[in-house]
A = this chain, B = another copy of it.
Amino acid sequence: MPNRKAATPITLAVVKTACSNCNLHELCLPLGLSHAEIEKLDEVVSARHRIKRGEHLYRAGETFNSIYAVRSGFFKTDVLLEDGREQVTGFQMTGELLGLDGISTEAHSCNAVALEDSEVCAIPFSHLEGLSREIQTLQHHFHKVMSREIVRDHGVMMLLGTMRAEERLAAFLLNLSQRFTARGYSPAEFYLRMTREEIGSYLGLKLETVSRAFSRFQEEGLIAVQQKHVRILDIVKLKQLMSHHHRE
């Protein structure tokens, strides 16, 4: 029961971020914190930024200062090779953190691009470290988030290293479905924010292969797809696709 609402009247001069007013508690950094602890976190989370579709939140090589929590919208992160080859390393949605890769060298090691108009909360990393020396729950949760990123990356390595094209796309769709569900959206129907080429880059496939796999899934009645709109029709078969090896 926050009584601070009454304390701050209508004055909205500064659009200060406030984790305590944010409905992303259960997805984002404040998970498990007491109300008093969240208010401490409020002081650390400096500001909210708006990023328009197509704009960079940060670029590889830039100095690392803050990590970012996605308040609303959708991002991709990617790495570029000198010869222009691109690997999308992840897609980030509401409540997920961006910039963890920058801690190691104090410079961002990838690009973060908004795939739709988005808002992020910037969290100066040194402040976060300070606060997590005070609040054990915050420290532990932050470690879990970093570790989860490592586990996620291992999952992608498994996908890229051992799966066939259709398995990869099935895994991708099921992962999206599960993350939309966790955010209160439909598990079976969603809009993709990324192009076929970006999906392909993430999955280690060419855009034509992604497109063909979508068509095949549709032919077989697993999904209904029209451009970026996807409806999952047979989630069971989609899951089975991944557990069968290629030869039956």
Contacts and interface: CB of A to CB of B under 8 A. Distances in A.
Interface of A: 79, 81-87, 89, 100-105, 109-110, 129, 132-134, 136, 139-140, 143-151, 153-158, 160-162, 201-204, 243-245
Contacts of A204: 160-162
Nearest to A109: B151
Nearest to A135: B133
Contacts of A86: 162
A201 B160 CA distance: 11
Contact of A101 (B83, B129, B151, B158): B151
Give the number of copies in the complex. Answer: 2
A224 to B, nearest CB: 28
A109 B158 CA distance: 13
A101 B162 contact: no
Given A129-B136, A204-B161, A79 B154 contact: yes
18 contacts: A81-B162, A81-B243, A83-B244, A85-B162, A85-B245, A87-B154, A87-B157, A87-B162, A100-B147, A103-B143, A104-B147, A104-B150, A129-B140, A133-B136, A143-B146, A146-B147, A149-B150, A157-B160
B85 A150 contact: no
Given A129-B139, A133-B139, A89 B157 contact: yes
B157 A156 contact: yes
A195 to B, nearest CB: 16
A103 B160 contact: no
A102 B147 CA distance: 7
Contacts of A84: 245
Nearest to A146: B146
Given A79-B154, A87-B162, 8 more contacts: A83-B245, A101-B154, A102-B147, A104-B151, A105-B151, A109-B151, A132-B133, A143-B146
Given A129-B136, A154-B79, A157-B87, A104 B162 contact: no
B101 A147 contact: yes
Contacts of A245: 83-85
